A and B are shown apart, each in its own frame.
Chain A
């Protein structure tokens, strides 16, 4: 492939993924308001936290437990954000040196920008993929969050519109592309069982954190996994863009 067609391909992927993910910001905005946040709190989460899974986790715990579940909500959102730190290590050489550039890149380091960048064959394409995808999603995600929060504010009782079910489906969509091997499927099933057992026993937010231990129990000894000598965070091991990947096909 020529350099020009590599660049075109990187831009095409960035727009396809970016627009699809941005549209989904509407549901975050609406669900955030349904969970008891005001419009500005929803917007701050999208602007500063800027990581879909963590944002949904936070509002989910706040919806169930209110502000008193705050520490559990923070812990859940932070744990879900851990993977972004791994992505940062992965895309760091793509971003290159310069602290200001790296600071900005850090903010844009999410599932989708990492997935699009690492899918490109050349360094130039990877740079375009990372920055274009990150920037398009940041702008689109924030605009759509604001729109969704305004709409959610007008709706009132959200269960009549099925928004609670939409939140569950959103989590399902985030985990679905990751369930392509026995090990993650086993962890998903185990965590689901632990969470169901823990819900009546523990305060809101804690069942999710206890269920996360399933990942440690399975992951550290590599139960049901492939041999450990495989490099883990390389291109085809990188989880596909969780939502965009679905609509991109």
Chain B
């Protein structure tokens, strides 16, 4: 697949799910089990993505400047720092550690 094909297919799929929700009779998907599992799926995917993005390196694991940056970000989320500030702080921590040569 080309990158453009991936982008177009995925975009249409995500948009289609939104539109399908307006066609579904309210009672059908609003069973507690379906709603709960869908919400938990979001949590599971995001959590897995954090791991992949923090310690993944292609098909291997690598501990580098990303891990301390994410730990700092978690601390900032815990004290309710604004989102965009945290993103910048995480980037600065990783960039700083690399500039100092303390982490890859």
The listed residue (A23, A74, A222) touching B84 by CB distance below 8 A is A23
Question: Given that A107-B15, A162-B93 are contacting pairs, would A200 and B48 also be in contact in the complex, using a CB cutoff of 8 Å?
Answer: no
Tell me which residues across on chain A come within 8 A of B35, comparing CB atoms. 86, 232-233
The SS class assigned to the B binding surface is helix
B10-38: which have CB < 8 Å to A?
A: 10-15, 17-22, 24, 26, 29-30, 32-38
Residue from A37, A93, A172, A233 in contact with B74 in the complex, judged by beta carbons closer than 8 Å: A172
Chain A residue with minimal CB distance to B82? A247
Q: Are A188 and B47 in contact (CB-based, < 8 A)?
A: yes
Residues of A within 8 A of B (CB): 20, 23-24, 27, 36-37, 41, 44-45, 48-51, 53-54, 56-58, 60, 62, 64, 67-68, 70-71, 73-74, 76-89, 92-93, 95, 102-103, 105-107, 109, 159-176, 178-179, 183-184, 187-192, 194-196, 199-200, 202-204, 207-208, 211-216, 218-220, 222, 225, 228-233, 239, 243-244, 246-247, 249
CB distance from A192 to the nearest CB of B (A): 5
Besides A67-B1, A219-B39, A232-B30, 10 other A-B contacts (C-beta < 8 A)? A74-B9, A85-B20, A86-B38, A106-B21, A162-B94, A162-B96, A184-B40, A192-B51, A246-B77, A246-B81
Q: Which residue of B has the minimal Cβ distance to A229?
A: B32
CA–CA, A188 to B48, complex, Å?
A: 8
CB nearest neighbor in A for B80: A249
Tell me, rounded to whole Å, the shortest Cβ–Cβ distance linking A244 to chain B: 7
In contact, B43 and A191 (Cβ under 8 angstroms): yes
Contacting pair B73 A169 (CB below 8 A): yes
Say how far A29's CB is from chain B's closest CB, in angstroms: 13
Give Cα A228 to B48, complex, Å: 26
Partner of B7, one of A45, A84, A107: A45
Can you list 15 contacts pairing A with B, beta carbon distance less than 8 Å? A20-B84, A44-B8, A48-B15, A58-B7, A76-B49, A81-B17, A87-B18, A89-B26, A106-B18, A159-B98, A168-B66, A168-B73, A203-B59, A204-B56, A208-B49
